[in-house]
Structure 1
């Protein structure tokens, strides 16, 4: 049921600023605003056109709260599909609260988290996947996540799902019709065309499911653990990557005793770098805790950078190779980049000899001087090469939402059941059950199938005022 009350909330971030926007939405939004707004030109805002802006004052019993700009958006041509008023006032927190309290006294109710977008969904202005994209757009902190959220908000993902659902629904209707004429033993649904449709749906679902691996890291950032022995330049590398003095650097082994994290955007992709304590045998209790945390961070990371000092390879090369093989064997699913640091201390011939020995390990390799910031750009390119950004460049649909991913997996499972039933000559009534289940999971994504608990979980993660 669509709520009938009028809600109000601050639409801009809380705190002082130059301007703040207070939003009203509901059938009485314009009437409530008219009670407190006095236009400088004497206009009656209840009689003004939609999508117009008016200068005036917020007034109560002769007391002027602020000079404001009032914007009118009449339903259904508004974000929520209802009458919407936006009051742009000065950004004093006192003024914001005074105006909101005044509107509450005039009959408005305080909006819940995400309630404006919830009403947009309930009024058919957005489907559920588009509504979720609004939250992703607000949270996007790099070019790639912004691009994906914009594509989803425009309906790219939901259009693809809706089209597949409609085609499947057409065949489902024919299958259901066959059940009504079961005694006549007739087939209304062309089995060949139906098989082709199932093949196409299966292909699209698998592509969307596979895209989640890319979408998830783009949305949440890619955790990268920088590991190695003490004093090989891990903190210097972190500072070089971030281009700032983020980590303390010294010649004393064990300076970094806790993990240090910071983020960097490379070509629109977010990477979260974790500088860890050096891995070595130690009796220092505090340093031992730091080393334990290093292994915990390796577990959490998707990419591991193993760093060692070039000048020590002649003496300790076999130990480094053993450590690299240990990491490969212990974490076979993690991407590993071996980085040779301090190449400015050895000759080019020695660098090439190290490269040759490490190439046999079949790992990505980068040679750098973190102190001189040499080879850092090449290392960034190696990091980017680990991410399949082809789909992003080609503007393909990429799934980033765990709920969508789960529904797609369940829909694929049901489609494969239908496909098996079709190939096995299964009766129409049994196939119809699996088809209905597939349609249900498609509908969960776009919101054709929903419930109050699902909506509550989704919109509870929104910010107030959106």
Structure 2
């Protein structure tokens, strides 16, 4: 653990509010805060203690009445000496206190610098550090749970243990290289194979979780498609419970995409209403239809909505074939349930040969069933509810994939009896990916890229 030069920043959101908190961390942080504070001598106070007083200008005039909390190294977020100053949320007061802190020797912190110091001082690994930013940005129950699981260690602690075991084997394999002419074997191949299989068994569920994790973090891009007058805009309005889109009996009313968000069971869905799929009647509608097709290509989930009253079996069969050919996950939703008979419904279900979610968008009927189907289609319930680790970060996914590929090559090499130098090469690649994942191997450029995305003060 080491202490760097003192840094200071606003730790709460900018803007006028009742309270603001400014954070100072680093060597001499307590001395700096003490020089602008009038109250108890902060340099003699214990860790995790709070003290009331005033912050003053160099001429002795009062800037604000504050509550100062002292955290002594290593029992702080950064593992450095930290002081947090709670003041009134005036922008003027905040700037005056920051000015005084910099006058006394602190510098303004860069984005994410407090968390970066916590990482450098071993408070947590790089996966956990990135989870701090995800936790701050979480806007749903699912994203909050995923970030919190990562912050508490998630999969990184388990991978660090397995990585250390792999390091021990690599050391033995590389030792064999020093005795190449004597044909000795220090690394027991069966045990090495079992370790690599154990690591891959941990990796595969994580890799499989990425599509779910990405949806949790960024929201599920859900596009509503169908023929003109199927009720797409009516459905969007019904789900959002507001008149977001213009509804008309005139085919082709929706010319451009309309987007909004809906939270279902703690998952954020980004709903996109689109132009009806048909042969365009003018250039503007053609552009709208092209945008619909682009949104379908980019979507995580497609709601194909059809008019249960006016869709013929042949039309439905053709439409389902087209939506299947896109390769996208989809829900088949039949609208205007209130206008069709039981026999008509059964006929369409027979033609579809797959489940249909029946609703009446205009009457807001059976929308709960649709929401349940949407939530189930994303398949996040088990991971989110049990607190299982879910991969939400593309950087993590890249290194997990690299590790798995390298181990697969090493296992294949064992099968054909490769020499120790070839085996060691694949094992080193696996170790590098695992090390870069958790931050045991880092570069300045990597840290700059990761922590620059954090907010200032965190």
One fold, TM greater than 0.5?
A: yes
Tell me if the contact between 2:280 and 2:289 (Cα under 8 Å) persists in the aligned partners.
no
Cα 1:45–1:2 change in 2 (3 A) is: closer
2:132 aligned partner: 134
Check conservation: 1:263, 1:272, Cα contact below 8 A.
yes
1:369 to 352, 360, 366: 360
Question: Does residue 350 of the first structure (1) align with residue 325 of the second (2)?
Answer: no
1:30 partnered with 2:27: no
Look up the SS of the partner of 1:386 in the other structure.
Answer: helix
The CA distance in 2 between the partners of 1:449 and 1:100, in whole Å, is 35
Superposed counterparts of 1:120-269, under 5 Å: 120-269=118-267
Q: Deviations over 1:224-262 (max 9, x none)?
A: 111122222111111222233322323333332221111
Counterpart residue number, 1:58:
55
2:322 alignment counterpart: 326
- CA distance in 2 between counterparts of 1:296 and 1:237 reads 21
SS of aligned partner of 1:257: coil
- CA shift for structure 1 position 2: 6.6
Q: Is 1:442 the counterpart of 2:439 in the alignment?
A: no
Higher mean Cα deviation, 346-355 or 434-443?
Answer: 346-355
Tell me the CA shift for residue 263 of structure 1: 1.3
Correspondence for 2:43 = 46
Partner of 2:457: 465
Segments of structure 2 that go 5 or more residues without pairing to the other structure are: none
**Structure 2 Cα separation of the partners of residues 16 and 294 of structure 1:** 42
Shift of 1:148: 1.1
> Over aligned residue pairs, what C-alpha RMSD do you find?
1.8
Q: Deviations over 1:279-337 (max 9, x none)?
A: 23343443332222211211111211121222212xx44223322322222x12x0122
1:392 CA displacement: 3.1
| Contact 1:30-1:83 within 8 A present in 2 as well | yes
Deviates more, 1:8-17 or 1:344-353: 344-353
Task: After superposition, give the CA deviation of every residue in 1:14-44 in whole Å (9 maximum; x if it has no partner).
Answer: 11111111111111111111111112xxx11
Q: Deviations over 1:195-216 (max 9, x none)?
A: 2112212222222211212211
CA distance in 1, matches of 2:454, 2:77: 16
Q: Deviations over 1:326-377 (max 9, x none)?
A: 2222x12x01222111111222332222222222xx4x41111011111211
Alpha-carbon contact 2:3-2:27 (below 8 Å) kept:
no
CA displacement, residues 28-74 of structure 1 (integer Å, 9 cap, x when unaligned): 111111111112xxx11111001011111111122111111111111
TM-score by length of 2: 0.95
Which range moves more in the overlay, 118-127 or 249-258?
Answer: 249-258
Deviations 1:361-402 (A, max 9, x none): x4x411110111112111122212222323333432221111
1:418 to 410, 413, 419: 410
More off after superposition, 172-181 vs 302-311: 172-181
Alpha-carbon distance in structure 1 between the residues aligned to 2:335 and 2:5: 64
Q: Per-residue deviation at 1:150?
A: 0.7
Q: Is the 8 A contact 1:2 1:119 kept in 2?
A: no
| 1:226–1:305 contact (8 Å) kept in structure 2 | yes
Q: Map 1:297-336 to 2 at 5 A.
A: 297-313=295-311, 316-329=312-325, 331-332=326-327, 334-336=328-330
Deviation at 1:449, TM superposition (A): 0.5
Q: Which runs of 4+ in 1 moved over 4 A?
A: none
**1:280-295 equivalence runs, <5 A:** 280-295=278-293
**How far apart are 1:120 and its partner, in Å?**
0.5
CA contact (8 A) 2:3 2:80 kept: no
Change beyond 3 A, Cα 1:282–1:186? closer
Q: Shift of residue 3 of structure 1?
A: 7.0
Distance 2:217 2:450 in 1: 17
- Asked if structure 1 preserves the Cα contact closer than 8 Å seen for 2:257 and 2:291, the reply is yes
Give CA deviations for 1:105-163 in whole Å, capped at 9, x if unaligned. 22111111100000001111111111011111111111111111111111122111101
Which residue pairs with 1:378 in the alignment? Answer: 369
Secondary structure of the corresponding residue to residue 209 of structure 2: helix
Conservation of the 8 A alpha-carbon contact between 1:72 and 1:84: yes
What stretches of structure 1 of length at least 5 have no aligned partner? none
Task: Name the TM-score, length of structure 1 as normaliser.
Answer: 0.94
CA-CA distance at 1:183 after TM superposition: 4.3
